[in-house]
Structure 1
Amino acid sequence: MNMFRIIKEELGNIITAFITPLVALLLLGYVYSNVFVENIPYGIFDNDNSALSRNIISQLQNHPGLDVIYYAESESDLEEAINSKKINAGIVIPKDFSIDMAMKKSPNVMFLIDDTNMLIGGNALSYSGSVIGTLNAGVQMKMMQGNNMYDSVVKSTMGTFSYAERLVYEPQGGYTRNMLYTIAPVVMQMFFLTKFSLPLLKRKKKEFVTIKFKSKQFIMSVLDIIVRTLIISTVSVIASFTGLFIIRKLFDLPLRGDILIYAVLMYAFFFSLMAISFVFAAFIDNAAYFEQGYLMLNMIFVLLSGVAYPLYMMPENLVRWVKVFLPIIHVAIPLKALNLKAIGWDVVLPYLNSSFKYTVFWLIVGVSSYSISIAYKRYRALDESKEEVEDDALVSIN
Structure 2
Amino acid sequence: MMKLLLKIAKREIALLFSTKTTFVFAIVLPFVSMFFFNTLLSNGVARNLPIAVVDLDHSSISRNIISQLNATPELEVTHLPVNQLESEELIRLGKIYGIVTIPKNFGLEIKKGMQVTILNQYNSNVLLPSGLEHKAFSKVIGTISAGIAIEKQIKKGVSVKNAKINFQPILTNNHVLSNPYTNYSYYLNSGFLTMFFQLFVILTTIYSFGSDLKYSKGAKLVKITNGNIISIILGKLLPYTLWFLLVGVVLFISMFVLQDFPMRGNKLTLFVGLFLLILANQSFALLFVSISRSFREALTVGSGFTAVSLSFSGITFPIFGMPIPMQWLSELFPFTHFFELFLDQTQRGIPLFYSYKSVVMLVVLTLFPVTIGWLKLDKLFRKGVYLHRI
Query: What TM-score comes out, normalization by structure 1 length?
Result: 0.80
Match of 2:150 among 122, 137, 141: 141
- The corresponding residue for 1:393 is none
1-structure distance, mates of 2:253, 2:235: 27
Q: Which amino acid in the other structure matches residue 110 of structure 1?
A: L
Give the CA deviation at 1:109. Answer: 1.5
Give the CA deviation at 1:252. Answer: 1.8
Q: Which amino acid in the other structure matches residue 136 of structure 2?
A: Y
Which stretch shifts more, 83-92 or 63-72?
A: 63-72
Alignment of 1:131-280 (within 5 A): 131-158=140-167, 160-165=169-174, 172-200=181-209, 203=212, 217-219=226-228, 221-280=229-288
Deviations 1:283-315 (A, max 9, x none): 334324543565567543323322232211222
Give the CA deviation at 1:44. Answer: 0.9
Match of 2:70 among 61, 73, 78: 61
1-structure distance, mates of 2:221, 2:250: 41
- The corresponding residue for 1:306 is 314
Asked if structure 1 preserves the Cα contact closer than 8 Å seen for 2:52 and 2:98, the reply is yes
The alpha-carbon distance between structure 1 residues 246 and 85, as it changes in their structure 2 partners (threshold 3 A), is closer
Asked if structure 2 preserves the Cα contact closer than 8 Å seen for 1:276 and 1:366, the reply is no
Asked if structure 2 preserves the Cα contact closer than 8 Å seen for 1:209 and 1:374, the reply is yes
Give the CA deviation at 1:37. Answer: 1.8
The alpha-carbon distance between structure 1 residues 255 and 235, as it changes in their structure 2 partners (threshold 3 A), is farther
Give the CA deviation at 1:138. Answer: 0.8
Asked if structure 2 preserves the Cα contact closer than 8 Å seen for 1:42 and 1:87, the reply is yes
- The corresponding residue for 2:127 is 118
> SS in structure 2 opposite 1:328?
helix
Count of matched residue positions in the alignment of Structure 1 and Structure 2:
376
The alpha-carbon distance between structure 1 residues 312 and 21, as it changes in their structure 2 partners (threshold 3 A), is same
Asked if structure 1 preserves the Cα contact closer than 8 Å seen for 2:51 and 2:78, the reply is yes
> SS in structure 1 opposite 2:151?
helix
The alpha-carbon distance between structure 1 residues 102 and 8, as it changes in their structure 2 partners (threshold 3 A), is same
Asked if structure 1 preserves the Cα contact closer than 8 Å seen for 2:264 and 2:346, the reply is yes
The alpha-carbon distance between structure 1 residues 126 and 251, as it changes in their structure 2 partners (threshold 3 A), is same
2-structure distance, mates of 1:180, 1:150: 48
- The corresponding residue for 2:364 is 357
Alignment of 1:45-124 (within 5 A): 45-124=54-133
- The corresponding residue for 1:345 is 352
Q: Which runs of 5+ in 1 are unaligned?
A: 381-398
* Larger Rg over CA atoms: 1
Deviations 1:128-186 (A, max 9, x none): 12211111111011111232334454345446433355657966412354222223432
Query: What TM-score comes out, normalization by structure 2 length?
Result: 0.81
2-structure distance, mates of 1:125, 1:233: 46
- The corresponding residue for 1:390 is none
- Shift >6 Å, 4+ stretches: 210-213, 375-378
2-structure distance, mates of 1:73, 1:115: 23
Q: Which amino acid in the other structure matches residue 237 of structure 1?
A: L
1-structure distance, mates of 2:74, 2:258: 23
